[in-house]
Structure 1
Amino acid sequence: MSNRRDQPLWISVDGVDGVGKTTLASALAGELHADLSSEFSDGFLGAALREAVTRAPNYVTVSRTAQSLAFIGDFFEVYATQVSTSLRAGRTVVSDRGWLSKYAYQLVTLTEEHGEERARTLLDASLGLMPRPHLTLYLTASEDNIRQRLTRRDGSCEDDRMQFVRTTSRAAETAITNTPLALRHVRLDANPAASLVLDQAVSTCRAWFG
């Protein structure tokens, strides 16, 4: 699939934890005959972070700054080894968690240590070095559905985890409205069944890019 200028696309699937990003990204890549970019890189840093979030999904280090820089650094590795590689080869790529997710999650993390203004300054300077996706599909769902999905997936979902979800959702809105460069995005209702959300996503991509 290509845009009207016959160029490969970077499509990013984003949203808070439990909203259905991984399920949609995988299915959408199949529907579009696109490459699928993973959340973490295949390098040593990606492997360490992948293991860390299975044990502590929100906070994996004592220093919030160290944690954010690690996640941001690995995202640059994902872009260089997966996203950029696919685009240079003329292939469309779908990301499971992309630019918006990284900005929103790290805004929450860094704000705790530095305040929102300094956190945004750091993120604008670091993530501002990376191109934006051609289109971000921003998934939203009710808190009840998110809690149920997280409980089914992880066995439980405590109140502090839902509070983190709320805070991250607000941070995503900040990222959408306040980033220096416009983020092309479409909001998708992720409350229905996965097959219906996939239909929405495919229709949206075709409407945007033909």
Structure 2
Amino acid sequence: MTAGPLLLAVAGLVHPGGLSAATAHRWVHLHIVLLPVFPLLALGFVVLLRGRPRLDVAGVATVVAWLGAAVYAAGYTGLDAVAGIAAGTVAGQSGDQAELRRLVLALYDAGDLLGRAGVYALLIAVLAGTVALGFRHGARVLAGTVVLLGAGYSFIDSHIFWPRGVLTMLAFAAGFALWAWAATQPPTRRPTTISSPAEHLPL
């Protein structure tokens, strides 16, 4: 669950701060490598909510979380392909720089729509996952939820750029780790009432 965000944090350390003809080659190759990595950010919802969902509130929340995670994985992969690979390829071409910049900005706009839709879906998955895990493990899941929601909000416009994007990925890793910790704790049990032996004596 933490491998995906940690890998993205490392990638953010070498991610070019901007796209230009000089950085286009590295920009393209980095985003090709990251194609299978961005979807790993949603793996926590699969691992922690694994199992056949029941027909109750927790089960419905589980399905919503899975759907949100799937939409994120598709949307952010689209961002990676369009604003990463495609835009980088265009920026590295020779020709009219004004026209190339116009094409890159158009690709950015398309990729940004896909990425934002994916992150919003990820935030919905966090809220639904909180409901599902809360039914199983109680209020202890809320610490991870707060961290994940903060990371998701930052992720809307931070991507993985240093420094905020890297810190955002580290926050995702911390949030999923807190959820995992909550899921491994023994369930909270209500104290049982011990009856007096005298209550069972025949009258």
TM-score computed with the length of structure 1 as normaliser: 0.32
Higher relative contact order (CA 8 A, sep 6+): 1
The structure richer in strand per residue is: 1
The structure richer in helix per residue is: 2
TM-score computed with the length of structure 2 as normaliser: 0.32
